A = this chain, B = another copy of it.
Amino acid sequence: MEAFTDFRKQSLPLIEKEMENFIDDYTANERLKEAMLYSIRAGGKRFRPLLVLAVLRSFNKEAQTHDYQVGAALEMVHTYSLIHDDLPAMDDDDLRRGKPTNHKVFGEAHAILAGDGLLTAAFQLLALSQIEANQKVLLIQLLSKASGTQGMVAGQAGDLQGEDRLLTLSELAAVHEKKTGALIEFALLAGGILANQPEEVVNLLGVFAQHLGLAFQIKDDLLDATSSEEALGKQVGRDEALNKSTYPSLLGLAGAKEALTEQLSMGSDVLELIRQTSSEFHSELLQELVEQLRLG
C-alpha cells in the first residue's frame, strides 16, 4: 500500500487547492461560498479525482495543473450530489463524514444553492482549464453524460423509486451503474484521455471502471449494514430504514461479500489486459486501489 499512500498524500493537497481556489475566486456571494467550501472541506476519500490521477501515473505521465482541475471538477460534482442527496426531501441525513450535513448548518435553501453552484462551477472550471479545445469538449460531454440524466441524476431517481419495493439484482445493478458507477467510469476515461491513450485502451479503462464501481457500491452497502456510526462518520442502517434494496438485502451478507470479491478479481483481470495492450502501462497503483476495496 505504500506507493498508493505516498501518491495519495502527494496528490490530495493539489486537488483540494484547485477546488478551494476556484470556489474562492469564482463565487460572488459570501454565504454561498461558505456553504460550498464547508462541504468541499468536509474531507472524504477523494476517490474519484485520485482515480483520474492514478491513471495518468500508471502511464508514467506527470500530472499538470489541468489534470488536477479535471479531478477537482469531478469531486465538485460528487460533492454537489452528496449535498442534494442529504436533503430532507431526499435521504434526509443529518451527518456526513462525521459532520452535520450542509442543510443542517446553512439551511435547506442555501444547501440547494450550494449544490447547484458546485455543479455549475464544475463545468465552468473544466471550460476554463488549459486543455486543448477538442479534448476539453470531449471531457465536458463525458462529465455531463456521467453526472446527468443518463448517469448520476437518473440513478438517484431510480434509487428513490426503488424505496419500499424489492428490486431484482439486475435492476439494482442498473441503478448503481448510473448512481455511482457513471462518475467512477468518467474518472477512468478522463485519466486515459488526459494521458492521450488510444481508444482501445480508454475503452478497457471503462470496463475496469464498471467492475470497480460495482465493487465500490457493494462495499458501501456492506459498510452501511455492518458498521457503527462512529466508524463510518455517517448514519448507518439508513438503507434498511428506507426499505432500499441493497446487495446484502438481496444476496445476504455472505453473498454480497462473495460478489465484492468477484468484481475485484474481474477488475484485476482487466488491468492485466490493459498491461498486455499497452507497454507503457503499469498496473500497480490501480491494483492497490482494488486491494483497498477488499473487506478488512
- Interface residues in chain A, defined as those with a beta carbon under 8 Å from any beta carbon in chain B: 23, 26-29, 31-33, 36, 84, 87, 89-90, 107-110, 112-113, 115-117, 119-121, 123-124, 127-128, 133-134, 136-137, 140-141, 144-145, 147-151, 153-154, 156-158, 160-161, 178
A–B pairs, 7, beta carbons within 8 Å:
A28-B154, A87-B112, A113-B156, A113-B157, A119-B119, A121-B148, A123-B123
Q: Which of B32, B124, B134 contacts A144 (CB 8 A)?
A: B124
A93 to B117 Cα, complex, angstroms: 22
- Nearest to A27 among chain B residues (CB) is B149
Determine if B123 and A158 form an interchain contact, defined as CB atoms under 8 angstroms apart.
no
Determine if A141 and B127 form an interchain contact, defined as CB atoms under 8 angstroms apart.
yes
Counted per complex, copies of this chain come to: 2
Determine if B121 and A149 form an interchain contact, defined as CB atoms under 8 angstroms apart.
yes
- A90-B112, A141-B128 given as contacts; is B134 within 8 A of A120 (CB)? no
Determine if A124 and B148 form an interchain contact, defined as CB atoms under 8 angstroms apart.
yes
- A84-B116, A89-B109 given as contacts; is B141 within 8 A of A133 (CB)? no
Please report whether the interface of chain A is mostly helix, strand, loop or mixed according to DSSP: helix
A87 contacts which chain B residues (CB < 8 A)? 112
- A124-B145, A137-B133 given as contacts; is B116 within 8 A of A160 (CB)? no
Q: Which of B33, B115, B137 contacts A137 (CB 8 A)?
A: B137
A31 contacts which chain B residues (CB < 8 A)? 157, 161
A145 to B145 Cα, complex, angstroms: 20
A273 to B257 Cα, complex, angstroms: 71
Determine if A153 and B89 form an interchain contact, defined as CB atoms under 8 angstroms apart.
no
Closest chain-B Cβ to A226's Cβ sits at a distance in Å of 27
Closest chain-B Cβ to A103's Cβ sits at a distance in Å of 8
Q: Which of B33, B112, B148 contacts A112 (CB 8 A)?
A: B112
* A107, A110, A120: residue with the most chain B Cβ atoms closer than 10 Å: A120
Determine if A140 and B153 form an interchain contact, defined as CB atoms under 8 angstroms apart.
no
A29 contacts which chain B residues (CB < 8 A)? 149, 154, 157-158, 161
A264 to B154 Cα, complex, angstroms: 43
Closest chain-B Cβ to A125's Cβ sits at a distance in Å of 9
